[in-house]
Amino acid sequence: MYSTMRWCATGKETNVRRGTLSSSWLWLLSLFTLAGFIETVFWGQMNSFTPLYLPRLGIAPGDVADAARDCGHDGILAGYGGRP
């Protein structure tokens, strides 16, 4: 069990309570949930609008579908490097 009693620099025992935000795992869950949501929205927008901008980058209009597919495959392959 975690004790809230701590020794301070003067050698006296003090009662120290950690805040509910710092001692709870819920703030970390909220942070990762928010980060995952932002990542999902960004990746969805990126995949949706990439084919519209590829011709501006010098890709021939006939090759846009292949280039967009290759961009998606590159993201999947890069993700494999981060898996356990």
One digit per residue, the tens of pLDDT, for the chain of length 84 reads 445 555 556 666 555 565 555 668 888 999 999 999 998 888 888 878 888 888 998 989 899 888 888 877 887 788 787 777
Query: What does the alpha-carbon distance between residue 15 and residue 7 come to, in Å, rounded to a whole number?
Result: 9
Determine the length of the chain: 84
Range of the domain at 57: 5-80
**pTM, full prediction:** 0.46
In the predicted model, what is the mean pLDDT of the chain?
Answer: 78
The pLDDT value recorded for residue 3 is 53
**Total domains present in the chain:** 1
> In this predicted structure, what is the pLDDT of residue 40?
87
- 8: tokens are 């301070």
